[in-house]
Structure 1
Amino acid sequence: MDRLPTETIHRIFALLDVADVKSLRLACKSFSIIGTEYLCPSIVLELGLDPSHKLRSIVSQPGIAKGVQSVAFYSFPILVSRLAANDCFAQINVGNNGVVHDLIHGAFVNFEYHYLYFLHALPQLPKLRFVNLDMLPYVNHLEPGLLVLHESLPIVTVASQPFKMLLRVLFHSGIKLEGLTTNFLDWGFFDSSPDELESLWKPLTDLKYLRFEFHNRRLVQLIHSDRVVTRCNAILEAGALRNHLAQLAELRTMDINFFFTTITYDIHQMTASWSTGLPLGWVVPHEFTWPYLKTIRLSYVHTERHEMINFLSRHKQTLRVLHLSNVTLLSTSWLILLADIRKELRLTEAHLCGHIWGRYEITEARAGQEQHWPMHQISSALHDQVNEYLSAGEEDVSGMGFTSPEAIFNAIELGFH
């Protein structure tokens, strides 16, 4: 065994699960040394389970830390800075002589400590390639009886700060990720100077898997919400997101979710309405193609069918998985788009989810009428049939009961009425 090339031994260990790695390390001294690197390929850190202690025990053993490739951090609040949160704590109606205030403030100090230690430890994980950053909403989610007052939180970048902190650490450590998933980002992440964005984006240029979830859903109480959305929309319309996505030449999976509310506020009442999300053109560079893109998941975007099918058709050589959720066609028909998807693409998996909006076109019997299919209200069996139709390509689907998009949506309308 000692005669085996070191590279071959590494390849063997890379194929094994942790239990088999532990067993194989017993074979000889060289296997024991090399196998140390494969004892902990992934780390899951959870608040409440002393994540700093777990991480400290790993980074204190360089042989083990060297092999960590994936870290998932569950779940910390988006306010990790006491400086950002102090005004919030000061304005909460705490009662009980400040007892609740002390508990909440102490919890954030604890959260901040764990997150900052997590960032401190990242440079000691040289082979890190995947990060899952799972963020909680802010204070009043942790303590349901408390209301965060309107002026208490920063205007734009509350949720973006921890993500920016992560990218800065990765940039200065020279770590380049292949996979990233994060949620509860506000769009203020892109409200930065071009130089700052370039440095923040460098750790991501080798990404193969990307999941971004942008929304202001947890900022409903802010009287400034409309102004925030307006400002961020202007930034995204100018190309902040699409220009940076175009730099991800290795991308295999793109999963992007845009969800926000618009707020109407006066002294007597405040109402919220759901948005249709962002224009597809703010996300996808014009006529751009990712050469290896296999999976597309888009939520809360609006577009027209010709723009959507052009985007999808540019990737028909590689695209195999398509998930569309809460997608709105502003003045064109889903019936025509579905026929185009089935004709142009060769999908192995397709999902149509959430609220689907469109409008019948002049060539259709119900021209001008609105299309609205709440896919979550139909039966799972019918939902599966719709998805099978989309992924069938040119195959005969008469056995499914559907021979056309019209047949699908006749069934859908019967299914939820």
Structure 2
Amino acid sequence: MAFEGLSDRLQSTIKKITGKGKVSEQDVKEMTREVRLALLEADVNFKVVKDLIKRIKERAVGQEVMESLTPGQQVIKVVKEELTDLMGGEQSKIAVADKSPTVIMMVGLQGAGKTTTTGKLANLLRKKHNRNPLLVACDVYRPAAIKQLETLGTQLNMPVFSMGTDANPVDIAGKAIEQAKEEHNDYVIIDTAGRLHVDHELMNELQQIKTTVRPDEIFLVVDAMTGQDAVNVAESFNEQLDISGVVLTKLDGDTRGGAALSIKAVTDKPIKFAGMGEKLDQLEAFHPERMASRILGMGDVLTLIEKAQTTVDEKQAKALEEKMRSMSFTFDDFLEQMGQVKKMGPLEDLLSMMPGAGKMKGLKNAQIDESQLTKVEAIIQSMTKKERQEPEIMNASRKKRIAKGSGTTVSQVNRLLKQFSEMKKMMKQMTNMQKGKKGKGMKFPFM
């Protein structure tokens, strides 16, 4: 997960100061030294770290902290606000042209994930903003890039404008705009050529495309895993093209996070989107405040809610609530819910968005084995319809048959049945509590 090392270091550093009734200048000095080391280890630009630490120190020994009733918490507030400002302060929204279509140029080096990100962005515009994008294949030097974009267009059921590898990219871009107007596409996303490094020939071509199509946005796609190199690339592209924003890819990988924390400060251009996985629906709008919360272990409830809203069917959710209340929740319902949760993304990522999850015993650094969920699915799918509806009818021969059919053991089947029974009891307790009855305290193994 992105920022994991930085997050752990910052949280353990700030934890030392949180519970203090009084915070001295020496406490602040020690904390900022640790924060500085953590940021440098995360590959954050040295100058950016220096300026950030200076601001945190000035505010942390100021009146807002020293005269506060909870100085430790005020220090965390200061650190969070400064991290948020460092990453851009607030979400930078995508442009909408006064006259359709809105034109977006995607630029970047080879290997950053530019073509895939082009498809992801088109998918996000259609799903969240109800737009009708046209994808444009302008990378004529790499035949595989045109084919890749056309494949993405097929997967997304979206039009792709291409003139092959012999056409001039500037002509392709210009003609694509004409077609978009004729076909009423309200966004045009141009996938331009990349190189292994920044060179004059590449920049000259990109500047010609920019002059021809006059884009509303120029998004630089950079690989977050390249750390400080991503910042250098961003600086170079910005100097020559005046980019309007950055899209960070592979932010879900084993990245130290330095790029995300440095790019805005170095280029003065916002991070607009972040790629959080390889699937075409794993591109998210970048929210600096939410990212700062996640880094400091405060969770990201808003993103979690948004993920749930896009994957959970409202009618199904209401029907499930009724079943829980009436105690008619079955294994079929359980299977359906597992499917909904899996659509929201990896469980480790979802846990990282829950406030305080990192502090819970048993969840901190938990390696969630998602293959266990596959086994649970296999067990349920090996049951008959009656067994799913009435698990209490299970006997030794039924369990043996289910274990054989699911490629598991009888003890694993027994464990699932026990967990399901306990879950139903817990639901009953919660229902009783809502009705005002006195329910027994629920015990969780990680509390």
Determine if the TM-score, normalized by the shorter chain, exceeds 0.5: no
Structure with the largest fraction of helix: 2
Structure with the largest fraction of strand: 1
| Greater RCO structure (CA 8 Å; 6+ sep) | 2
Q: Please give the TM-score of this superposition, normalised by the length of structure 2.
A: 0.29
Computing the radius of gyration over CA atoms, which structure comes out larger, 1 or 2? 2
